[in-house]
């Protein structure tokens, strides 16, 4: 069970973080939640799909595989992509947000019980010997910033997409060369024809709020399905 604590360079000076990828570290999943703050990098590698949570709110995900617990970007202990989604790259680190009504900035926390965490020895250092941030912590800070900012802008972004009629259901149906068929249901995407037909005022509003670029990136990302199918064929032989 996760038990995050505030990260500091005294109590956690000797902690190390294993950077290998694999099922033991929670990487064997066929999709993961993502954020608009990383769409530009994601759309070069992954298919971005929108989902609806039980309350009906939209959230963005990327497709990593077709079968349960299948991540086709995993290659042994390596993640075979130029960019790893922020939620998957943060490792044992989380953002701690002050309780409602309490002032303060979000702070980085760590889960000492996470399978990646080691007490000395194996893994990458979090802090330098003199107490400053090691490169790992700088990388994690950037990932957590994307998660935090992305989670804050998501409701307004999806509201804008809905206002302009840009969200449409999509059911992905793919077939491998050997005749196997896979269906990815319950997804949503950006309607490219509606996006292209938007009038000047609507385009200006989306551009002003910086929602136009994420819409374009999400729509274009579905072209990566072909590459994902190719990964599936190579994996299954």
Task: State the pLDDT at residue 104.
Answer: 76
Task: State the pLDDT at residue 101.
Answer: 72
Distance, CA of 39 to CA of 221 (rounded, Å): 9
Task: State the pLDDT at residue 203.
Answer: 93
Is-contact 89 143, C-beta < 8 A? yes
Tens digits of pLDDT across the chain (237 residues):
568 999 999 999 999 999 999 999 999 999 999 999 999 999 999 999 999 999 999 999 999 999 999 999 999 899 999 999 999 999 999 998 877 777 778 899 999 999 999 998 889 999 998 889 999 999 999 999 999 999 999 999 999 999 999 999 999 888 877 778 888 989 999 999 999 999 889 999 999 999 999 999 999 999 999 999 999 988 887
Structure-block tokens of residue 209: 């709020």
The residues, ordered by sequence, that sit 6+ positions from 38 with a Cβ below 8 Å of its Cβ are: 83, 85, 86, 146, 150
Task: State the pLDDT at residue 1.
Answer: 54
What angle do the packed helices 212-221 and 200-208 form, to 10 degrees? 100
Alpha helices in the chain (DSSP H): 39-42, 86-89, 135-163, 192-196, 200-208, 212-221, 225-236
pTM (predicted TM-score) = 0.92
Distance, CA of 223 to CA of 225 (rounded, Å): 5
Task: State the pLDDT at residue 148.
Answer: 96
Question: Which residues make beta-bridge pairs with 182?
Answer: 174
């Amino acid at each position: 069970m996760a038990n995050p604590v505030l990260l500091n360079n005294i109590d956690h000076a000797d902690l190390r973080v294993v950077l290998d990828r694999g099922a033991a570290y929670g990487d064997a999943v066929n999709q993961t939640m993502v954020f608009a703050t990383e769409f530009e990098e994601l759309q070069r590698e992954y298919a971005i799909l929108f989902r609806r949570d039980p309350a009906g709110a939209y959230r963005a995900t990327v497709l990593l595989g077709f079968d349960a617990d299948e991540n086709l970007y995993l290659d042994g202990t390596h993640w075979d992509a130029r960019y790893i989604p922020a939620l998957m790259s943060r490792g044992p680190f989380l953002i701690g947000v002050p309780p409602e009504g309490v002032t303060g900035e979000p702070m980085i926390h760590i889960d000492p019980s996470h399978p990646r965490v080691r007490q000395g020895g194996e893994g990458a250092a979090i802090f330098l010997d003199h107490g400053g941030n090691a490169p790992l912590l700088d990388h994690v800070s950037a990932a957590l910033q994307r998660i935090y900012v992305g989670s804050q802008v998501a409701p307004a972004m999806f509201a804008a997409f809905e206002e302009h009629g840009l969200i449409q259901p999509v059911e992905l149906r793919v077939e491998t060369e050997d005749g196997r068929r896979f269906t990815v249901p319950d997804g949503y995407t950006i309607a490219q024809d509606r996006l292209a037909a938007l009038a000047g005022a609507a385009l200006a509003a989306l551009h002003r709020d910086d929602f136009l670029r994420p819409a374009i990136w999400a729509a274009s990302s579905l072209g990566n399905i072909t590459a994902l199918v190719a990964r599936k064929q190579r994996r299954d032989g």
